Structure 1
Amino acid sequence: MRGESEATLRRSLASVLAVGLLAAPVCAGTASAASRSGPGCTGSVPYTAGRGGYDTYRIPAAVRTGAGTVLAFAEGRHDGEGDTGDIDVVLKRSADGGCTWGPLRVVADGGGNTRGNPAPVVDPRSGRVVLLTCFNGGDVTEARIMRDEAARGLGRRVFVQTSSDDGRHFSAPREITGAVKRPGWRWYATGPGHAIALRHGPHVGRLVVPADHSAAPRPGSADTGREARYYGGHALYSDDGGLDWRLGYVDDSDDGRLNVNESGVAELPDGRLYFSARDQNGTGSRGGHRLDAYSRDGGLTLSRPYAVQPSLNEVPVVQGGVLQMPGPHAPLLFSGPSVPHARRAMAVWSSTDAGAGFTRLATLSSGPAAYSDLVPLGSGRVGILYETGEAGPYDRIEFRRLATVPRR
């Protein structure tokens, strides 16, 4: 009976999502155009390359505040599509579920350097928006950081900011690098994508941020140069609403089989945490590029090491979004491109067995697509904020509203 009901749920969800995703065109990102679509709009375009003072917008992250406002974060890149340069963390707010957006706001100004990897979360106790980001010098590439070639203070550093007025204003970035980055680590990246606040078990209220890092090659390892070739995953957490931060689990495998890179996290209905990560060209994936792991203690340790998720083998090497929909029998969703060796065809998958397996539900388009994040919109609806375009995947960041997700 349980298997039959879950199969029925998957079929129903797939049907409803397909209708919701493909029934209508996306409305324009301007308030005047979007307002004509009314509250039932399919979506909008909050960020378009070349507008608002930036060459390119990348790395989307989204949360919904207690007041129902959708906050869409991104990196505003002045110098082009590249990951290095003068990069700010920017934000747009929507009071109508992603149909229209307010003006662009700079949350963390790079000032010629790089600020990025936004990982926002809403603290359930205070209602404050807590945002973690990373920093490095504007002329320092990821490869140079991994070779330990960044000058003092210009390597990867970690910061936190908060907003007490529904995302209208944020505090200045406050550095927490010393609390969450081990001395031997070189690269460091929060998320990107939303973080979570725990709602079940003994750690209710804990803020958990998924992250990745690289470390110096171990003495006597096969590395002949100074570059740390392997990535590892970890989590950082706060039990006081974002004031103090500590390291949770650390995955430091350096055998090159599974390279845990950019990751997301969801809290399952039974209180376990589900971590979904990009496999950065690991040799043990047998064609798959997604890894996952679980935690039973609020992110302090992993129940098992990261393993390949074979039901997501269609996903290329790229960041992906993960979201547990509200409700005891609601699905776990995943978003990402769906062409194994190309960043194209953004799609949504669903799991009704806590991430053991995923079923593809719908494809948003066949065009270029890359990073994404998922955000609950209330009443069973979900939004997806993702990179897409025609000439390439970084022409714009689009927001799509998915039809109601059925629940038992």
Structure 2
Amino acid sequence: MAYESSVPYRAGTEGYTSFRIPAVVRARSGHLLAFAEGRVSSAADSGTIDLVLKRSADAGRTWGPLQVVARNGTGTAGNPAPVVLDSGRVLLLQVRNAADATEDRIRRGHVPPADGRRIWLQHSDDDGASWSPPREITGQAKLPHWRWYATGPGHALQLRHGPYAGRLLVPANHSTPPTDPQDSGAEPRYNGGHALLSDDDGATWRIGYTDSDSDTDTGRSVAPNETTAAELPDGSVYLNARNEAAAAWQRVDAVSTDGGEHLVRPFRPQAGLSGPAVQGSALHLGDRGALLFSGPAHPSARALMTLRTSRDGGLTWRTAHTVGGLPAAYSDLVRLDRDTVGLLYETGDFSAYSTITFRRIPVEEPT
């Protein structure tokens, strides 16, 4: 099937060596806001990285000029996690660190807290045309012993249904030090997932559920990392995460029925979403009752971007659309209208990181 597509970001243009980490939301006006990391000097995950934005007034067919939403001097501003509030305000959560604070050094505890991963927030009241100065919320969002930290990446939620309607929920992840002090310089892979919650439209924040692999007594082969969330029609929240613990189970999922405060059960493997270790995106279509997931479907390589669907709240999955057989990596989903969803994803002919492409995908009728 052919899809309408456009390319808001192309590596090596507009002053950036690389663009990565897509996130997209639809503003109340209908404008699409496509966020990315603009990596200045290289494609590496650290260094001088800006948060950039392009807006579309025609549902992703064309895009306006590049806007720099956030800079962190010569350091990194990244992991965009936007959410559109009922009021129309757009919130953008992000994470910042010093240019030389690589993930490996942060995980090993070799970076002072001031230079490590810190959480910031901006907002726009004009559909992304202009943005507030950034405000730091690290003290509310991150426990003191956590080392690595990432918001999303990808769109966050404002809950619409049930007793927690109005709550903001931002999926996030973190790492913790080794439990054995003798291993303090080792490469700790103690990954954990958690949620950031706000009940006052982002004025204040707190940590909701946490789940990690640091309890080695359980025998779990689950270490949730980059996490995506979707609200189900009954108000519960479906959570799906990249798994860093075992190659046999690349994705894990969980459900919260109390607005992200706790999980019904810990994250567990989801074999219905086979693919490589990579970020993915979940979106519920609401009126049609389908839950969607986007991500590469090749068993070991970042390639074969595929849209999969579930009719039972994420218990089982089937392929809905194979977007293409090219290299592909991170992605984010957005509802455009009753008949169409948008997919913002990393792809290219020979590298998954050549472009960030936007595709309009028709929504199938229920079967």
Query: Could you say whether these structures have the same fold, taking a TM-score greater than 0.5 normalized by the shorter chain as the test?
Result: yes
2:135 is the counterpart of 1:156: no
The Cα offsets for residues 304-327 of structure 1, whole Å up to 9 and x where unpaired, read as 0000001112x1100001101121
Q: Distance in 2 between matches of 1:300 and 1:168?
A: 33
In structure 2, the partner of 1:271 is 235
Per the TM alignment, residue 218 of structure 1 is displaced from its structure 2 partner at its CA by 1.5
Moved over 6 A (4+): none
After TM superposition, give the deviation of residue 391 of structure 1 in Å.
1.9
What do residues 264-318 of structure 1 show as CA deviations (whole Å, max 9, x unaligned)? Answer: 00000111100000001x13x6x220100000000000000000001112x1100
The aligned counterpart of 1:225 is 185
Residues 198-347 of structure 1 correspond to what in structure 2 (within 5 A)? Answer: 198-219=159-180, 223=183, 225-254=185-214, 255=216, 257-280=221-244, 282-283=245-246, 287-313=248-274, 315-327=275-287, 329-347=288-306
Partner Cα distance (1:108, 1:57) in 2: 14
Deviation at 1:226, TM superposition (A): 4.2
In structure 1, runs of 5+ residues without a counterpart are 1-21, 25-41
After TM superposition, list the pairs within 5 Å mapping 1:123-134 onto structure 2.
Answer: 123-124=85-86, 126-134=87-95
Paired with 2:313 and 2:234, the residues of 1 have a C-alpha distance of 9
Is residue 398 from structure 1 mapped to residue 348 from structure 2 by the alignment?
A: no
CA distance in 1 between partners of 2:343 and 2:176 (Å): 33
Deviations 1:220-264 (A, max 9, x none): 68x473442221000001111111111100113313721110000
Q: CA deviation at 1:130?
A: 0.5
- Mapped to 2, the partners of 1:376 and 1:190 lie a distance apart of 21
The structural deviation recorded for 1:356 is: 0.3
Aligned to 1:46: 8
> What's 2:345 paired with?
386
SS across alignment from 1:185: coil
Of 109-118 and 249-258, the range deviating more from structure 2: 249-258
User: Could you tell me how far apart the structure 2 residues matched to 1:93 and 1:148 are?
Assistant: 38
Matched-pair contact (CA < 8 Å) for 1:148–1:226: no
2:341 paired with 1:377 = no
Aligned residue number for residue 15 of structure 1: none
Q: Does 1:82 align with 2:47?
A: no
The SS at the match of 1:342 is coil
| C-alpha contact (below 8 Å) 2:26/2:33 kept by paired residues | yes
Matched, 1:62 2:41: no
Specify the alignment match of 2:103 in structure 1: 142
**How many residues were matched structurally?**
363
Is 1:23 the counterpart of 2:5 in the alignment?
A: no
| Structure 2, gaps ≥5 residues long | none
Task: Tell me the residue number matched to 2:82.
Answer: 120
SS of 2:37's equivalent? Answer: strand
- The answer on whether the counterparts of 1:148 and 1:227 sit within 8 Å (CA) in structure 2 is no
Q: CA deviation at 1:132?
A: 0.2
CA contact (8 A) 1:338 1:344 kept: yes
Deviation at 1:165? Answer: 0.4
Contact 1:232–1:253 (CA under 8 A) maintained in structure 2: yes
Partners of 1:194 and 1:59 in 2: CA distance: 11
Question: Could you say what the CA RMSD is over the residues aligned between the two structures, in angstroms?
Answer: 1.4
Whole-Å Cα distance in 2 between the matches of residues 123 and 407 of structure 1?
29
Once residues 163 and 382 of structure 1 are traced to their aligned partners in structure 2, the CA distance between those partners, rounded to angstroms, is: 24
Deviations 1:148-173 (A, max 9, x none): 11134110000010000011111111
Q: Which amino acid aligns with 1:23?
A: A
Q: What's the offset of the Cα at 1:405?
A: 3.5
- How do residues 344-363 of structure 1 correspond to structure 2 at under 5 angstroms? 344-363=303-322
Residue number among 327, 330, 334 corresponding to 1:368 in the alignment: 327
CA deviations over 1:186-224 (Å, ceiling 9, x no partner): 000000000011001111111100000001111468x47
8 Å contact kept, 1:278–1:290: yes
When Rg is computed on C-alpha atoms for both structures, the one with the higher figure is 1
Tell me the percent identity: 52
Partner Cα separation in structure 1 for residue 366 and residue 359 of structure 2: 21
